[in-house]
């Protein structure tokens, strides 16, 4: 499909107000679609390990109401969450700032041994605009594994285990000190922490595939994910709901963010790379927004906002998003994951991201959007 034709299709989609079909489960309806981007996945649904949670959002004079629909969502079935863990890490880092009088979002710092000076605000922006691993890892050093896991547990978001940094082979349980600028010339040190060693996860699908590469050598056995991060669909959805709709939760279940912090976090989540200062020729709007737009390089219309966090690694694509169209007054949440590793070999960089995974998530988002436009009175 050419970019111009795709753009026309999107234009028609976003202005369609025809009534949607009356169905009991929108997910089942969409997944029966004959569209090739959907059908090539549903024809081999088990191989792709698809899990989806879709939430309709309705507003009345009484408040906001959610209706959840699930497809194969199962906390006991493992998928690698990749960069989706950056959302709770960013939120918890902002929260921690509220408990240290000498720090705020604009405090400048660097991690011991790191040559890059940054601020907490800049790190959060980079985490969402282009899913920067180094920015995430700086916030990870600030928090430590134990604080991340205990913080999420206290909020009752569901099952989760954050065990390691991203894009970093280090499995060091000790976080590094942060050198913080009190002013232009004076610094202080925030010491690191020693964290608890992760226990192997005992979940279905924790070992995947038939082989993997390690140090350039093919190992003919399943790849073991048991010591990696675990962040299931239901938990991702709960974290997103707490950030978007804190009033729906008890105070102890919310992220302890100031109004300014929450506004900054939400703005970072919906920003596209070009609005965050990145070159749009390299980082197009959909660079880290898979639903609806992942398979196009066209700009996202200004009336559509996508508050999300994606992850992609080891052949697994995941997106956790809240999507709003202010023109058509449509809003919904969707979290989905898909595995695209046809040859069953991990760490060979041969995954069908562009051919299968992203087109599926983009079309899934478009069809659910179309359904919601038709449902909106």
Q: Could you list the mean pLDDT of each consecutive 10-residue stretch along the chain, which spans 377 residues?
A: 39 39 83 98 98 97 96 98 98 97 96 96 98 98 98 98 92 96 91 97 98 97 98 98 98 97 98 96 97 97 98 98 96 98 98 98 98 85
Query: DSSP string spanning 206-256?
Result: SEESSEEEETTEEE-SPEE-TTS-B--HHHHHHHHHHHH-GGGS-GGGS--
pLDDT at 5: 35
pLDDT at 171: 86
308-311: long-range contacts (C-beta < 8 A, 24 or more apart)?
Answer: 308/269, 308/270, 309/83, 309/84, 309/86, 309/87, 309/128, 309/131, 309/269, 310/83, 310/84, 310/131, 311/80, 311/81, 311/82, 311/83, 311/84, 311/85, 311/131
Q: Is 16 a member of any domain?
A: no
Q: Is 283 a member of any domain?
A: yes
Q: Is 276 a member of any domain?
A: yes
Q: Is 223 a member of any domain?
A: yes
pTM of the entire predicted model: 0.93
Q: Which domain holds residue 299?
A: 26-374
The pair of three-digit structure tokens given for residue 364, joined into one six-digit string = 């899934």
Q: Is 2 a member of any domain?
A: no
| Paired strand residues for 58 | 65
- What's the start-to-end Cα distance of the chain, in Å? 32
The pair of three-digit structure tokens given for residue 40, joined into one six-digit string = 């090539």
pLDDT at 114: 94
Query: DSSP string spanning 317-373?
Result: EEEEEEEEETTTTEEEEEEEEEE--TT-EESSS---IIIIIHHHHHHHHHHHHHHHH
The pair of three-digit structure tokens given for residue 121, joined into one six-digit string = 């605000």
**188 SS3 class:** strand
Q: Is 8 a member of any domain?
A: no
Q: Is 122 a member of any domain?
A: yes
CA distance 172 to 194: 9
pLDDT at 1: 39
Return the closest-CA partner of residue 263 out of 286, 238, 285, 246.
Answer: 246
**DSSP secondary-structure letter at 182?**
S
The answer to whether the CB of 242 falls within 8 A of the CB of 253 is: yes
**DSSP secondary-structure letter at 184?**
S
Query: What CATH number is associated with residue 34?
Result: 3.40.710.10
Q: How many domains does the chain have?
A: 1
Return the closest-CA partner of residue 143 out of 179, 190, 180, 181.
Answer: 190
The answer to whether the CB of 238 falls within 8 A of the CB of 254 is: no
With 0-12 CB in 10 A as exposed, 13-18 as middle and 19+ as buried, what is 245?
middle
Q: Is 12 a member of any domain?
A: no
For the segment 117-135, what is each residue's pLDDT rounded down to a tens digit?
Answer: 999 999 999 999 999 999 9
Order across the sheet with 211-214: list the strands: 217-219, 211-214, 345-346
Return the closest-CA partner of residue 49 out of 369, 237, 315.
Answer: 315
Residues whose CB is less than 8 angstroms from the CB of residue 147 and which lie 6 or more positions away in sequence, other chains included: 92, 96, 193
């Amino acid at each position: 499909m050419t970019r111009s034709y795709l753009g026309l299709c999107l234009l028609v989609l976003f202005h369609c107000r025809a009534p949607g079909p009356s169905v009991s489960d929108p997910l089942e309806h969409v997944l029966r679609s004959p569209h090739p981007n959907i059908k090539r996945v549903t024809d081999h649904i088990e191989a792709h390990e698809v899990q989806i949670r879709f939430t309709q959002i309705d507003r009345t004079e009484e408040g906001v109401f959610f209706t959840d629909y699930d497809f194969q969502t199962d906390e006991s079935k493992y998928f690698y969450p990749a960069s989706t863990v950056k959302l709770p890490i960013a939120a918890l880092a902002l929260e921690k700032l509220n408990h240290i009088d000498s720090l705020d979002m604009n405090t400048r710092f660097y991690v011991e041994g790191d040559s890059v000076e940054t601020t907490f605000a800049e790190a959060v922006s980079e985490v969402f605009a282009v899913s920067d691993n180094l920015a995430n890892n700086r916030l990870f050093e600030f928090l430590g594994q134990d604080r991340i896991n205990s913080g999420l547990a206290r909020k009752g978001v569901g099952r989760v285990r954050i065990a390691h940094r991203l894009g970093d082979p280090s499995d060091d349980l000790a976080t590094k000190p942060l050198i913080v600028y009190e002013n232009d010339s004076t610094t202080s040190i925030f010491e690191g922490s020693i964290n608890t060693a992760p226990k192997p996860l005992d979940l279905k699908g924790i070992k995947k595939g038939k082989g993997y590469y390690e140090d350039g050598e093919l190992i003919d056995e399943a790849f073991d994910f048991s010591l990696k991060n675990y962040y299931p669909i239901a938990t991702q959805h709960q974290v997103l709901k707490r950030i978007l709709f804190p009033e729906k939760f008890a105070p102890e279940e919310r992220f302890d963010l100031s109004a300014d912090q929450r506004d900054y976090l939400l703005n970072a989540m919906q920003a596209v790379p070009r609005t965050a200062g990145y070159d749009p020729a390299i980082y197009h709007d959909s660079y880290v927004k898979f639903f609806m737009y992942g398979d196009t390089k066209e700009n996202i219309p200004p009336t559509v906002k996508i508050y999300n966090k994606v992850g992609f690694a080891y052949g697994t694509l995941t997106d956790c998003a809240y999507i709003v169209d202010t023109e058509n007054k449509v809003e919904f949440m969707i979290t989905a994951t898909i595995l695209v590793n046809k040859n069953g070999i991990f760490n060979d960089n041969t995954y069908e991201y562009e051919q299968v995974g992203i087109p599926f998530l983009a079309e899934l988002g478009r069809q659910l959007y179309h359904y919601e436009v038709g449902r909106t009175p």
